Amino acid sequence: MDKGFGQFCPVAVACEIFAARWTPIILRELLAGSVQFNDIHRGMPAISRALLARRLRELEAAGVVKREAARGKGIRYELTEAGREFRSVLEPLGVWGQRWGQRAERRNLDPEFLMWNMRRRIARDALPPRRIVVELNFRGVPAEHRGYRVFWLVLTSAEVDLCVKDPGFEVDLYVDARLDSMVRVWLGDTTWRSVVRDGSVRIAGARELVKAFPSWLLRSHFADVPRVAVE
């Protein structure tokens, strides 16, 4: 554990656990349902695997996270009662960031992070009664980004898979999009209709699927928080 504040104040004691770099993001991933190490890492790819392992050990030592053997191989990470209580801390932080933060700056644009979050927010009950495969190609990705730019969503009412390699199924919908436009839709800063109208997002496929596609993709959990113009 990093050196603390040297104070017995409850705020200081809590921050010694919560405010360490990356720890709130690890908690966000655990609260969102990630339990495997690799899944937690996919939600925060900029952290090194070594540092993630260290932070998880620290959270376990603090009684916030518990480990248990997963079925087959590997370890599952789950929040304890103390860890789950951090939801009441992270929720207002997200509301504040949505209302006041400058979020969609170029340095924050990451197609892998966007897709990892989008795959959690699929309205599976609205999907057709068959498998739908969507190929998404992102334009306007920052040059310094070294990761993937093309993704496949394999959608069924039972599960949603995100692939970074062609899954080998026939593609039903093709989405060609500027990354910043998709992020702004995800965050609730603009609408599907607007980005389709201005051409920054293009969707191709059977007409009924093109029309239905936006209704399958729910926006960010915080998208409905009203923005405040920052002067």
CA distance 45 to 43: 6
What architecture (CATH level 2) is domain 10-100? Orthogonal Bundle (1.10)
Closest to 19 (Cα-Cα) out of 108, 90, 101: 90
Average pLDDT over the chain reads 91
CA distance 104 to 147: 18
195-229 pLDDT tens trace: 999 999 999 999 999 999 999 999 999 999 988 86
Secondary structure class of 168 (helix, strand, coil): coil
- Residue 203 · residue 175 · CB < 8 Å: yes
Q: What is the percent of the chain where pLDDT is above 90?
A: 74
Give the number of C-alpha atoms closer than 13 A to the C-alpha of residue 158, restricted to the C-beta side.
2
56-73 pLDDT tens trace: 999 999 999 999 987 777
What architecture (CATH level 2) is domain 106-216? 2-Layer Sandwich (3.30)
95-138 pLDDT tens trace: 999 998 876 677 778 999 999 999 999 999 999 999 999 999 99
175: β partners: 136, 203
| Residue ranges of domains in the chain | 10-100, 106-216
Residue 230 has pLDDT above 60, yes or no: no
Element (H, E) at 67: strand 65-69
CB-based contacts of 220: which residues, under 8 Å, 6+ apart? Answer: 98, 117, 121, 186, 187, 188
CA distance 190 to 223: 10
Question: What is the model's pLDDT at position 145?
Answer: 81
Question: What is the model's pLDDT at position 231?
Answer: 52
What is the DSSP code string of the chain? -----S---HHHHHHHHHTSTTHHHHHHHHHTT--BHHHHHHTSTTS-HHHHHHHHHHHHHTTSEEEEEPSSSSEEEEE-HHHHTTHHHHHHHHHHHHHH---S-GGG--HHHHHHHHTTSB-GGGS-SS-EEEEEEEES--TT--S--EEEEEE-SS-EEEESS--SSPPSEEEEEEHHHHHHHHHTSS-HHHHHHTTSEEEEE-HHHHHHHHHHB---TTTTSPP----
Task: Tell me the mean pLDDT in the region 176-188.
Answer: 95
- Residue 82 · residue 14 · CB < 8 Å: no
